[in-house]
Amino acid sequence: MNEKSSKRREWVKSAAIVFLSVLLVLTFFSQTIMNRSLPEVATKFVQNGTITSKIRGQGTVESGDPYTIEVSNGYVGRKVTSIAFRVGDKVKKGDVLMVLADGDGAELTEAKEALAMAESNLKDAQSRYDDAILKADISNDDINTSKGKFNASTYRQMITEKQAQLKTAQEKTAALKKACADLEKNIEDCRQQISYENEQNSYASARLTTAQTAQSQAQAAKDEAQTQADAAQAAVDAIQQESEALEAAYEATPEDFEDIEASRSEIAARLEAANKTLTEKQTALTNATAALEKADQEVANAIAGQDARDASPVVNNLNKLISEYSLQLYGKTKEKNDADAEESRIQEELNELISIIGDVSTLQSLQDAINSAKATVNDKKKLVEELQKENGGMEITSDISGTIMSINVSSGKKISDPNVMILQPEGQGFYMTMTVTNEQARLVSVGDKASLVNSWYYNDMDITLQSIKPDKTNPSKNKMLTFVVDGEVTTGQSLNISVGQKSQNYDCVVPLSALRNDTNGDYVLIVESKSTPLGNRYIATRVDVTVIAQDDTQAAVSGALNGWGDYVITTASAPIKAGDQVRMTDN
Residues 203, 240: one domain? yes
Let me know: does 169 contact 339? Beta carbons within 8 Å. yes
Tell me, what's the pLDDT at 331?
87
Give 61-83 pLDDT, tens digit per residue.
877 677 788 877 667 777 788 88
Residues 12, 46: one domain? no
Examine residue 456 and state whether it is found in any structural domain, yes or no.
Answer: no
Last residue of a domain, one of 326, 346, 366: 326
Give 227-244 pLDDT, tens digit per residue.
988 888 988 888 888 888
Report how far residue 95's alpha carbon sits from residue 370's, in angstroms, rounded to the nearest whole number.
50
Helix, coil or strand: residue 318 = helix
Residues 14, 45: one domain? no
Residues 6+ apart with CB under 8 A from 585: 40, 41, 42, 43
Q: What is the CATH number of the domain that holds 232?
A: 1.10.287
Examine residue 514 and state whether it is found in any structural domain, yes or no.
Answer: yes
Tell me, what's the pLDDT at 143?
45
Residues 30, 47: one domain? no
Residues forming beta bridges with residue 44, ordered by sequence position = 568
Helix, coil or strand: residue 555 = strand
**Domains in the chain: how many in total?**
3
Q: Starting from the edge strand earliest in sequence, which strands make up the sheet with 402-407, in order?
A: 67-70, 419-425, 402-407, 90-91
DSSP code per residue over 426-456? TT--EEEEEEEEHHHHTT--TTPEEEETTGG
Residues 21, 45: one domain? no
Widest distance between CA atoms in the chain: 200
Examine residue 435 and state whether it is found in any structural domain, yes or no.
Answer: no
Let me know: does 124 contact 374? Beta carbons within 8 Å. no
CA 316 to chain centroid, in Å, comes to 73
pTM of the predicted protein model: 0.35
Tell me, what's the pLDDT at 36?
67
Examine residue 187 and state whether it is found in any structural domain, yes or no.
Answer: no
Tell me, what's the pLDDT at 4?
55
Examine residue 344 and state whether it is found in any structural domain, yes or no.
Answer: no
Tell me, what's the pLDDT at 266?
83
Residues 31, 44: one domain? no
Residues 32, 43: one domain? no
Report how far residue 567's alpha carbon sits from residue 565's, in angstroms, rounded to the nearest whole number.
7
Report how far residue 217's alpha carbon sits from residue 501's, in angstroms, rounded to the nearest whole number.
151
Report how far residue 488's alpha carbon sits from residue 407's, in angstroms, rounded to the nearest whole number.
19
Best CA proximity match to 239, nearest among 261, 269, 260, 282 = 269
Last residue of a domain, one of 279, 306, 326: 326
Examine residue 253 and state whether it is found in any structural domain, yes or no.
Answer: yes
Residues 510, 533: one domain? yes
The CA radius of gyration of the chain, in Å to the nearest whole number, is 69
Best CA proximity match to 126, nearest among 356, 361, 378, 374 = 374
Residues 6+ apart with CB under 8 A from 114: 380, 383
Best CA proximity match to 423, nearest among 101, 92, 96 = 92
Find the distance separating the first CA and the last CA of the chain, reported in whole Å: 64
Residues 228, 241: one domain? yes
Neighbours of 523 (CB within 10 A): 19
- Taken as a whole, the chain contains a residue count of 587
Residues forming beta bridges with residue 414, ordered by sequence position = 79
Neighbours of 374 (CB within 10 A): 16
Which residue ranges of the chain lie beneath pLDDT 70?
Answer: 1-9, 12, 18-19, 21-36, 64, 73-74, 102-109, 111, 125, 128-156, 159, 250, 252-260, 353-370, 384, 387-394, 427, 454-459, 501-502, 533-535, 563-564, 586-587
**How many angstroms separate the Cα of 123 from the Cα of each of 21, 329, 368, 376?**
123, 65, 13, 12
Helix, coil or strand: residue 583 = strand
Let me know: does 50 contact 505? Beta carbons within 8 Å. yes
Residues 44, 1: one domain? no
Residue type present at position 108:
L
Give 491-533 pLDDT, tens digit per residue.
778 888 888 766 778 888 889 888 999 999 899 999 888 877 6
Examine residue 6 and state whether it is found in any structural domain, yes or no.
Answer: yes
Tell me, what's the pLDDT at 276?
92
Helices 257-311 and 152-252: crossing angle in degrees, nearest 10, is: 160
Let me know: does 126 contact 370? Beta carbons within 8 Å. yes
DSSP state of 79: B
Residues 245, 259: one domain? yes
Neighbours of 69 (CB within 10 A): 22
Examine residue 97 and state whether it is found in any structural domain, yes or no.
Answer: no
- When the pLDDT of each residue in the chain is averaged and rounded to a whole number, the result is 78
Provide the Cα torsion 28, 30, 36, 40; round to 10°.
-100
Report how far residue 284's alpha carbon sits from residue 276's, in angstroms, rounded to the nearest whole number.
12
Instruction: Give the structural domain span for 15.
Output: 1-37
Q: What is the CATH number of the domain that holds 558?
A: 2.40.420.20
3-state helix, strand, coil in the chain (%, to 5): 55, 25, 20
The 10 Å CB-count burial string (b at 16+, else e) for 200-226 is: eeeebeebbeebeebbeebeebbeebb
Tell me, what's the pLDDT at 181?
92
Element (H, E) at 383: helix 314-390
Residues 6+ apart with CB under 8 A from 518: none
Residues 43, 32: one domain? no
Report how far residue 363's alpha carbon sits from residue 146's, in angstroms, rounded to the nearest whole number.
6
Last residue of a domain, one of 326, 344, 364: 326
